[in-house]
Every structure is written in structure tokens, then in C-alpha cells.
Structure 1
């Protein structure tokens, strides 16, 4: 009756009041005190300039995002993982989860069914949730339509689909029960949807866990290679192999690690992907350019004269780049080679005690190849060749080996400076046998050795052998399949 409907709506409104209050508070805070930042409501400007185009944009976004979240999103659930995404053990776990969820769903639906002969006649129950879902989809995206933010099914724009979730489910369920399917078939199809939805949650959990492990390993390796950093340092890197982390989000743990006691509204350190920041937050790749980044809770004021560039692509170790060598490294993306124009190792300080709380970074890993490599590379930066050799002894004693031939370069250089040319040539051959690309880099390394190591007949003979064996003086053409990223 109209009276009972009014009572229901009144009770719903009273229950909603606390949430309405928090919503209004946040809107006033952003509009009057904090500011919009990146999320400026550009729709009002569009409406003032051309009302018809603005309304067409609004209608197009409403339909487009409704279809994306209520229909297209199911493509993620039914996209089964491949061998590249999961190791065989995890892949077996995925299919076990899907199969178990299907059987359990089928059992629950079957056991809670109402026998046909005792079921009272019911109206079209699917109509109400379907219409409610449609109504919800017309308003779920208002914050993103006002600000022009894209709603997508991939990180990090997929977070905007959260406000569509309830409405999308109501529409999907309404459509599902509206279809004239036999009852048994409907139960099976519903169980299939449930099973693959659970399987998608399993896949997401695996990806998050993998990202978390990669993040932890990267920061531990950074702490070994860079015990301390001068305040104001900018770290530049490749786009790290973590789906759910960006340079923006990794800046927070970076500051936590190197400046845990900082209580000022000024960040000490920043991590930038040149692919994202160059031309925006990063003004250019010339030294001496000041820049500033508003990190909402704090501000970073930096200068391109104080930047360190590193590369991380597991299972290889974090590697601080060496401009003299890496300028011809065809395994690096071009944008990272360009970034070496402002790279400098001077901000890396050899003494420090980085703070890596166990709750975030786990316990410090047992010394492994990457541990010894990072320590050796730090000693190489200081030209402490005896320390490099000592770390090398421990590294090779582990029985492990480098996953990147350039991880042998500090030891080659140290052995040469210490007059152990047999060992230097042994490591040179092991690195050069991987690919002609690394032979070219070995040419550059040995030119530096010939220039800086103490002059001896052994040095000159080893240098000449490398120049001849790797055709260092001839023009170089990268082998097929080596095409660096732009």
C-alpha cells in the first residue's frame, strides 16, 4: 500500500542519514578546504561552454559505463589464466577452486529450492531488482562523469567500478531470471557464473600476492644497494613488474624506508616512471631543472641534478645503472637510457640503516646472490675493489648464478684492478656467451678497465683479446628479436 511504501522509504532514509552526512562533509571539505587537485569537476565548464555537447557526453558515459560494468566486466571472470600467468601448481589450484565452487553452488541452490508442486504462484520477481539496478547505474558514475575520469576494467581505473557493483549485480540477476530457461538449466548456468566469479577472486589474490612479494624483494635489494640517500633524491626506474603498484604508490614506502622519522609536510624522496612523469611532473632530462610534486599530504621539491636511475626485472636483481656501460644496453628500454642523462650515484650514501618494518616488508631474506651482488655493486661505486672481490667470493660460493649477465660486471672490473686477469676473463666469457648484446657492453667495460686499471702486460693482453674476440671496433647491429621499448 502507499502508506507501507512511505514508511519503508522513511525508514531507509533515516538509516541512510549518517552516510549522507559523511558524504556532504567530504564534498564540502574537498570543495572549500582541501581542493580538487586532479579531480576537478570539468563537466560544469563543459556545460557552460556547450550545454548540448555536455549533455550528450553525460548520456554517452552513462550508457557506456553501465554496459561496461554490468556486461563487459564478466569477461574478466571467464578469462582463464594461462601458463605465463600461473605456475602449474597455482593453475591446478585455480581449476580446483572453480570446480569446487561450481559443485557447492549447485548443491546449495538445489537443496534450498522450493518444490514446484508446493511453490505458491509468484509475480515476476526479477522486475524490481532489474529496475532498481538500472536506476542505480544512472547515478553510480556521477563523481567520474563530473571529473572526466575514465571507468575501466584494468588497474588503476578499475577502482571506479566499485560504485557500480551493487547496481550491476541487480541488473545481471534480473536479466538472468527473466530468461525463459528450464529450471535445471538455470541452476547449472547460475552455478557456472558463481564458480568463475570465485575463480577470478583466486586469480586476483595470486596477482596481489605476487605483487607484494616482488615489492618486498625490491625494497630489500634497494636497502642493500643504497644504505642511505641524500634528501631530495629522485629515483627513476623502468615500469616495475607489479600490476597493482605505480610509482606514485611506491613513493610512500620509499620515504618510510629512508626517512621514518620525518614529520614535516615535505617528502624527502620520490620515485618516478619516466614514461609517466616526463613532461608532466618531471620537466626534462637536463640537469639543474627544479620541479615540485604535490603528494596531497606532503610536497616534494626536487631537482634533476639529483637523480638515481635503476632497473628491476626479476628474477634479475635491482641494478643501479652505469651510464658508461648501459648507454648501449639494448635490453633496456630507450626511455631509461635517455634518463641516464641526469643519473648520478653521488646521492647514494654507503652508510645507513634503512627502516623496513616486518609487517610490510617481511623479515630480511637470507643472503643470496642478489644480496652479495648489491653489496658488491655498492663497493664498486666506491672503487673498493678488494671488498668487491670479497663479496664475489661469497656470491659464487652460494652455487647460485646471475639472471642478468651484467651482474658479473662488478666482479670482472674488481678482478682486473686486483691483477687477477684469469678470473676476470673467465667471468667475461660467461657473460659474453649469453648474447652479442652483452659482448658490446663488455667492450665498453674493458675500455674503462684499460683506462683505469694499473698498466701491466696482463691487462694489455686481456684487453686486446676482448677487443678481438668481440669485434669491439666494428659497427654493431643488434641481433633479431632485440627491439627495446620506446
Structure 2
């Protein structure tokens, strides 16, 4: 029999393996992450308010999140790296708590319990770890959920009354804690009661009736977790969001008989997604398209994780024979995994949400407990089980590295975009509705645009509630395109303590077609558009009002903690200054900027970026420069036709000499 000291040592060895492998999965690029997605509005609100404003932000759906975010922001402020460290810490602790639970359930199954906890911790189906500020509550909630279940099992295995009561109380408090962060995590209760069932059903010499009675008595105190939360949520709390209004969502079942069939359909699909698709699709989407140097780094980290897994698991396997008699892991683990998967998915489906990878991966979190356990029930039957486990660890590390590369690229692209805007625009007129197109980064919410814009141009503290967004924005959906094209009027959304007035008759379009190109502030009278621009942008570009760019005043300096230090002054710096000079009518300045750029070895990647220099040379009567630049800017049929139209209009508005006009007519428009 193994001594207590040996058990403790083996547990901490397992925890060390989880820590090392999960650190490899989540931390290699953490210092390069920036703000992503919902982080933008949260951090802008903190910039103009104070941490107590988190109460306002989350009051409408999950007020408990403020209790987590206030101390975290007080510690970390605006530095994203620290949030990524704490997110990793909570993820690791959640894995250790699950490992503790599995060890208490199956102490004789060393390999299986550690393998399941390890795969849960690095589960590749959850891809929002890189969005650490906004998803802090999700990851903290997951840790509290696994801690709550571990304390439940510990209380049931403890004989002494006082420690048993303390473990029980801690379990209930941690349970309320995780539900205060994410209400749909309530599916963890299925895992809790599945664990209790396994323990109670093992009772030797008891009839089924006695086991059922024991199960009921053991479960009774822990009904306070879900029961207490649901009483508060259903009868005392009023949700502002339909998506988190439990009563409203479930009422759809009575209004449409087909709802139940759709729920069953989604349940079947989501079970496949969390158990199978999560190990294939994300790695295909995220890791396979990486650049060669990133692929080499990813395989290096994956190899390191595999080496640690093999060494650690070999030591765990040798530490104790698993041939001792005990209840079958396969039967119990299979039952518990299915209960956990279904339980984790049902609350998501009942509020009409659905697991779609990789975009809505957060809905896999609770079900991933069962998904990892189910996979290990298969792996432990294979003779080369350590090799197979290592293969899945490698998939997870490759997936998370690819996901991290995507996050780094998106954050850097956003920083570069707004640094270019800051070089180009001294100030925006308040109230203009911004339409932006980032290179390769999907924009699903308007605050992906107005968050950075207001941080740069309207960072002043605000005392009133709600926060007034001076520079609103809109995502270019079909409805928004129609509103802009028909001068559709004003919207006044109020969301999470932020109020804005979107005027679709007063928009400014900003486009960056590719990451190595420049941001173009579109003049709707003569829009300059690239063949690479989205078709929706072509439709609304003529409605862009350039007069919303103030041409005078001091240029803002984007805060370094958010946007990093000022980038090197490459081609796009000179392009932005030349474009501003063009708007000002300062034609003499533009050739000076061009000479500086060319002398420094900078050239455009997009031929369209020659336009300010072409027009300046035309106004200044530099015929040879017009002729040579015209050859550069008319490289294809689309650009030639567009440049011809722009320059024809330009000839009507500006005084050009006859020789320049001849070059335009014969070298560009012919």
C-alpha cells in the first residue's frame, strides 16, 4: 500500500506536469498579445471612468463579473500581459482541481486521472484564452467550478464533522462564485452529481434502494448551489439581455413545438463538436495556414510538450502498478463523461446558443470536462497509450500556438491601423460614424472600431453615466450598408453603460486592404478604391465625408500601454502626411515628403498610394513626374479606369497646364 507521503508526492508530480505542458500551450507568445474584441470597450470605459464602473457594465446580465474585474483591474491596470498570466493561472488551477477530483474518484488509476486532467487543461476546443481581459470571468468561473466539485468530493470522503462541514461550505460558496461569473456554466452541476452518484453507488452490501437514499442525502446540501442561484436569477434578478434571460429563452419551448426538435438536433451536433471536431478543425484552421517560421516554432513547442508528457507519464506509470482491483474505470468514466458533456451543453442550447468552432468556442468549456474524460477512456485501453496521449497533447499545443499567432497578428494589425490614423488625422469631428476595414481581421462589433478611436481622440475622463461615445462606429452589415446608402437616419443604442448616436447620414470610411498597405481615409466625392477592397466598401465609399477630418491642431499620441511604441516611419507614414497635405491643399509639401520616403528606401506596396503624389506633381506642373507616376498608378484595368475618372475630375477643379492635361488624357485615359 502506498504511503500518504507517496500519494502527496505523486499528486504534486502530476500537478507539475499539468503546469509545464499548459505553460507551453498558452504562454510562449503571451507577452505579444494586445487588446482583442470586447477588451476594447472594457478598457476604454476604465480609461474614462474608474473600476467601480464595472458594476454598471455588468449590471444588466452578470453583475458578479464586476466582483472579479474590479480587483483584477486594480492590480493589472491597462497592461494586457498580466491578464494573460492570470488567465493562465486560473486555467492551470482549474486543471489541478479536476485532477484532484479524478484522483479522489479513482485513486488507483494514475495514468487515466492525470491524462484526463491534462487534456482538459490544454483542450483545443476553447480558443478565447487569447482574449484574456474579457474572458477572465469565463476562465475564473471554470476554476471555481472545478474547485467546487473537488471540495464536494472531499467533503463526502471526510469523516470528521468540522472539516467535512468546512469543505461543504467551501464547495457551496465556490459554486455560487462560478455561477456569478457565467450562468450557463450551471451544466457543471451535472458533473458534480455524476461524481456523487459514482461514490454512492459503490457502497458495498447496500441495496439499490439504500444506495438511492444515500445518494439523495449526500446530494441534498449541494442542491443549494444551483437552487440558490436559480431562485435569485429567476425571481429577483431582471436581465437586460435576452440571451441571458433564462425564463424568456425557455418560454420559446411552449411557443413553438419545433423548438424541442431543434434543441435535440443541436445537442447531437454539439456533442460531436466537443468530442471529435475540437481535436481536428481548430488545428486545421489555425495551425496549418501558419508561415513557415511559425510552423517550425509551433512544432518545436509541441515537441517540448510531448517530451515532458512522455517523461512525466512514464514516471507516473512506474510509480505504482495499476493492476489493483477496483471498480471499472471504463464504465464509470463513460457514464460520467456522457453526463458531463450533455449537462455542459444543455444550458447553452436551452438559451438558443450553439457550439460553432472556432468562433463560438466558449460554449465548449464545461462540456470539455466530459470530452477529455471520454477520450482518456479510449486511450487507456491502447497499449501505446503514452504515445497516443502525446499525440493529442501535440495537437493541442499546435492549435494554441496557431491561435496565439492569429491573436498576435490581429492585435498588431489593429495597432498599426490606428497609428497610421493618428499620423493622418489631427482630430475627428465629434459625432461622425466611423466605418473601418482592418486587414484580415473580422469586425463583429462596433466597439472594435470606436474603442481604439476614442482612446486616441477622446480619452478625457467622464463623470456622468452612461459613458458618451464621441466617435461612434458601425459594423458594415447588409442592414448598415442599406442605411448608409439611403441616408437612414440616427440610431441611439445604449449597451453596457455606453451610449452612442450613430448617424448613417454622416459617416467616414477608413480602409486598409492588406497588412503591408496604408490606411486610406476615403473622400466620398472622389473615392480611391483598391481591387482588394470588399464589395460592401465600394458601395458605401461615395457616402464618406472627408470634412469630418479636422486638418489643423496637434496630433494625438496613442497611449503606448495600449498601442505600443510609435512604429518606424516607413512608407505609410509619408503617405499619411502627404494625404493630409493634399486635403489641406499644401501641394508644395508633398514632393518633399516623397523625396524623404524614397531617400530612405521606402516604396508603396499598393499602386493606389501614389495618388497624392500624382496629383501634387500635376498641380505643380512637373510633367515628367506626372508621366512617370502615371505609369506606376495605372498597373491594371481597374486602377486605370478609376485614376482616369479621378484625374478628369481633378482637372476640372484645379488649374493645370496644358501639357499636364495632355499627359492625363493620353497616358492615363487613352
Select 2:254's aligned residue among 48, 52, 59. 48
Does the CA contact (< 8 Å) of 1:292 and 1:301 recur in 2?
yes
> Counterpart in 1 of 2:303?
99
Q: Structure 1 226/295 Cα, relative in aligned 2: closer, same or farther at 3 Å?
A: farther
Measured in 1, the distance between the counterparts of 2:377 and 2:652 equals 76
Task: Describe the shift of the 1:333–1:245 C-alpha distance in structure 2 as closer, same or farther (beyond 3 A).
Answer: closer
Backbone CA RMSD of aligned residues: 3.1
Tell me, in whole angstroms, the C-alpha distance in 2 between the residues paired with 1:446 and 1:144.
56
Say whether the 8 Å CA contact 1:235–1:270 is kept in structure 2.
yes
Does residue 377 of structure 1 match 2:579?
Answer: yes
Contact 1:126 1:173 in 2 (8 A): no
- CA gap of 1:244–1:216, structure 2 versus 1, over 3 A, is same
Q: Which runs of 5+ in 1 are unaligned?
A: 472-486
> Where does 1:112-191 land on structure 2 (aligned, <5 Å)?
112-114=316-318, 119-155=323-359, 157-177=360-380, 179=381, 181-182=382-383, 185-191=384-390
Q: Aligned pair in 2 of structure 1 residues 354, 288: CA closer, same or farther (>3 Å)?
A: farther
Deviates more, 1:259-268 or 1:207-216: 259-268
Q: Deviations along 1:175-229, whole A, 9 cap, x unmatched?
A: 332x4x22xx222111111122112221111111111111110110111122211
2:313 is equivalent to residue 109 of structure 1: yes
Q: 1:429 aligns with which of 622, 631, 655?
A: 631
Match of 2:410 among 183, 205, 211: 211
Does the CA-based 8 Å contact 2:474-2:502 persist in structure 1? no
Deviation at 1:361, TM superposition (A): 0.6
Match of 2:434 in 1: 235
1:108 aligned counterpart, secondary structure: helix
What's the counterpart of residue 254 of structure 1?
453
Mapped pair 1:293 → 2:486: no
Cα 1:275/1:259, change in 2 over 3 Å = same
Query: TM-score, normalising length from structure 1?
Result: 0.84
Query: What is the match of residue 271 of structure 1?
Result: 473
Match of residue 136 from structure 2: none
Higher fraction of helix: 2
Q: Is 13-22 or 443-452 further displaced after alignment? A: 13-22
Superposition map of 1:405-416 within 5 A? 405-416=607-618
Tell whether the 8 Å contact from 2:522 to 2:528 is kept in structure 1 after alignment: no
Change (3 A) 1:13 1:227: farther
Q: CA deviation at 1:82?
A: 7.0
Per-residue deviation, 1:416: 0.8
For residues 232 and 75 of structure 1, the distance between their equivalents in structure 2, rounded to whole angstroms, comes to: 46
Query: Hey, what does 1:348 align to over in structure 2?
Result: 549
Structure 1 residues 34-73: aligned runs within 5 Å:
35-37=240-242, 39-41=244-246, 42-50=248-256, 52-73=257-278
The residue aligned with 2:658 is: 457
Matched position secondary structure for 2:477: helix
Question: Does the CA-based 8 Å contact 1:76-1:200 persist in structure 2?
Answer: no
CA–CA distance in structure 2, aligned partners of residues 446 and 333 of structure 1: 23
Deviates more, 1:213-222 or 1:325-334: 325-334
8 Å contact 1:260–1:355 — kept in the other structure? no
Task: For residue 347 of structure 1, report the CA deviation from its aligned partner.
Answer: 1.1
Matched residue of 1:235: which SS?
strand
What SS class does the counterpart of residue 276 from structure 2 fall into?
helix
Residues 367 and 149 (structure 1), Cα distance of their counterparts in 2 relative to 1, 3 Å cut: same
The TM-score with structure 2 as length reference comes to 0.63
Shift of 1:25: 5.5
Distance 1:95 1:145 in 2: 36
Q: Deviations over 1:416-449 (max 9, x none)?
A: 11111211221111122x3222111221232023
Partner of 1:114, secondary structure, is: helix
Distance 1:215 1:277, change over 3 A: farther
The structure-2 alpha-carbon separation of the partners of 1:239 and 1:125, relative to structure 1 and needing over 3 Å to count, comes to: same
Which residue of 2 is the match for residue 339 of structure 1?
540
Of the two structures, which has the highest relative contact order with CA contacts closer than 8 Å and spacing of 6 or more?
A: 2
